[in-house]
Structure 1
Amino acid sequence: MNVTRSKTHRSPIRSKHALHLKRAGATATEFAIVLPMFLLLVFACCDFARVIHFRQLVANAARVGATHGALNRFTAATESDWRNDVVNVMREELAHLTSTDPNDSVIDVHFRDLSSGVRVVETEVTLPFRTVVQWPVLPTEIQVHHHAEFHQFR
């Protein structure tokens, strides 16, 4: 029995190769669609992590300043030196933020005396945070603010 092949019949090797080429094209198309969304998600996560880290360092600076101010007493004659010391301690803490200049910060140090005779030291730090990516609906700069207060020790 003599079997002849028709011209339309393809060998299994050629059909596997053609299927592989079609699948490779589909994979490239899927990658081109998914890659921008993946990069958007990665950059969003990076900016979110940076703002949390930034917020923590600003809060630490305010707490360190309030603690330093509460530990060191002052008189009316030494009040300005006391304020300068507290501000310098806070600026040193903000120096850990390598992406910003600590001189961009707004630092406020004040105190109040309670009726019980206890002095409360209050510090406030405000520093601008700038995102890496300019998001379409979000601001590119956010003012990060923290307030801390401690009672002065007797």
Structure 2
Amino acid sequence: MKAFIISGLLSVFILSNASCTNTTGSESTSQNTNKNEVIYLNQESFKKLVFNYESNKEWVYNGKVPAILDFYADWCGPCRQIAPILKELQKEYEGKVQVFKVDTDKEKELAAVFGIRSLPTLVFIPLNGQPQAVMGARPKAEFEKMVSEVLKVNK
């Protein structure tokens, strides 16, 4: 049931040409808790800070500010291409938006629960309403437009 609901949420996501296919794996991750920095999530921190998919049947965002959730892999070229852009956005929006990153090679269950098939997949999570995603590398201006339109946040 959880997978069905989450799959339904992901059905609203926009597809892109510039993407990678996830094909490799390993098992651990780290978390950064400094203010105004990108936070790397593992399964437990994801459930605490973003969405506890084990206890909620419907989408309930646990964050205090809108977020960008980046599903990535170290080997993915487009993922490496957008990483500095996401760091810039984290700094430029000064606590108005939180960027989270999930390494799909280390967090296979999270990738599976969300049906991640292409990398990078970025999920834009507003405080109210349903998340929306884009797949593939995009220019910074396009991410800024998504932050403004989907997350309803201005610099």
Which TM class, normalised by the smaller chain length? Answer: under 0.3
- Please identify which structure carries the higher helix content: 1
Q: Which has the greater radius of gyration? A: 1
TM-score (norm 1): 0.23
For normalisation by structure 2, the TM-score amounts to 0.23
Determine which structure has greater relative contact order: mean sequence separation of CA pairs < 8 Å that are 6+ residues apart, divided by chain length: 2
